[in-house]
Amino acid sequence: MADLSHVDLLELIGADVTLRRKSAASGEWMGACPECGGRDRFTVWPSPSKGKPRYWCRQCGAKGDAADYLVWRGRAATMGEALRLLGSEYTAPARTEPRPIDPPEAVTPPPAAWQERGRSFADYARRVLWSRDGVQGLEMLRRRGLKDDTIRAAGLGYNPKEMHDDPRRWGLDPADHPKGIWLPAGVVIPYTVDGELWLVKIRRPQGEPRYVGVAGGTFTTLYNADALRAGRPAVLCEGELDALAVAQAAGDLGAAVASGTTGGAHRVKWLARLALACPVLVSLDNDAAGNEAAPYWLDALGKPAKRWPPLRKDPGEVLQADGPAALLAWIAAGLAAALGDEPCDVCECGSPVDRYTPTGQPMCAACYAQAMANEAA
């Protein structure tokens, strides 16, 4: 069993809701449930005389410890990821049968009011990043190996100090966010797809959780989905900054997207869009959580999709430690392994497959060029 005694459960949950002490004798704290909103039905025991710190909502039934809370609130996709975020060792329990996979669901962008305020905040953060107040954020991104052109193209920004914004500016009910909308200091990462702002995440320089999604956003969004092209390769990463590192190294080889967490973006919209790419390298982090989550994507995508773990923990570490040439070589080797020796399905030239059509038909480079010429004519 993981030891979470070092985690301040009041601080963790207090970032979402206001808690008040019920009584010193019982050690109970109470407040509105962050999920169902039940008034005075949500109880936290941060330092019980027996057992571990825990929470329980008497209305919706949610209960557990700090790791359960992160998974429940969508801050982590698996227990392994939650415990990693909380700084605890984790050993996956033995399973006698595969874990069932929840069917994908439909997903929509946040309301217009949220998007308007989110764009305003992201624009502010972009301006700050390239000012004196953004030096810390810019240096962090450059240390990760990201070029200025990559940073600008992604619209990254920097929030220099923590703030709590008025929920009404985001179109949200103040009663659900009594402490305001938490905007911690850190690198600001906007998720823009098809011209709409789906999510804003902030990568904190220190502290846990390391990544914070702004309340009200659509957390199950595929980062950089606009880069996907039918029949062209794609690399599915876990972290947004890892996807930018891969895209920077890959150039015209293909696109790079990120699920945000090991279990993020499990939705029909994103699976359908990602399935247009061929092949897809499933390159979630090279750790227990990434290896556990990869089969979902391999099963869901079906046609040429291959688990291709990073040579280090994640692609960003490869870029930092080994350089852009090593990252590019890893991408190229993965695409070659995914495509294999499959012959072109259009001609009989025997050339290796260069890409796939939207229907999954393998084509060599010459046939694809001819097909594009015919389409243009």
Buried b (16+ CB within 10 A) or exposed e, 87-108: ebebeeeeeeeeeeeeebeebe
Phi-psi region of 87 (alpha: psi -120 to 50; beta: other; left: phi over 0): left
Closest CA to 24 of 46, 1, 56: 46
- HSE-up (13 A, CA, CB side) for residue 242: 26
- Give the chain's domains with CATH numbers: 9-85 (3.90.580.10), 112-213 (3.90.980.10), 225-339 (3.40.1360.10)
Tokens representing residue 154 in the block: 């992604």
267: DSSP letter? B
Q: Considering the entire predicted model, what is its pTM?
A: 0.67
Q: What is the pLDDT of residue 213?
A: 92
What is the Cα–Cα distance from 292 to 259, expressed in whole angstroms?
Answer: 14
Within 10 Å of residue 175's Cβ, how many Cβ atoms? 10
Q: What is the pLDDT of residue 91?
A: 42
Within 10 Å of residue 229's Cβ, how many Cβ atoms? 15
Q: What is the pLDDT of residue 93?
A: 37
Q: What is the pLDDT of residue 250?
A: 93
Q: What is the pLDDT of residue 257?
A: 97
Q: What is the pLDDT of residue 292?
A: 85
Tokens representing residue 283 in the block: 């390159």
**Strand locations in 180-287, DSSP E?**
181-183, 186-193, 196-203, 211-213, 234-237, 255-258, 280-282
Q: Are 134 and 160 in contact (CB under 8 A)?
A: yes
The 3-state DSSP class for residue 55 equals strand
What is the Cα–Cα distance from 50 to 173, expressed in whole angstroms?
Answer: 37
Q: What is the pLDDT of residue 68?
A: 82
Closest CA to 184 of 161, 216, 155: 161
Mean pLDDT by 10 residues, the chain (377 residues): 70 80 74 71 75 76 81 74 68 36 63 97 98 97 97 98 96 90 96 96 90 90 93 93 97 92 69 86 91 86 85 95 93 82 55 52 62 62
The secondary structure element, H or E, covering residue 250 is helix 240-250
The neighbouring-strand residues paired with 124 are none
The 3-state DSSP class for residue 357 equals coil
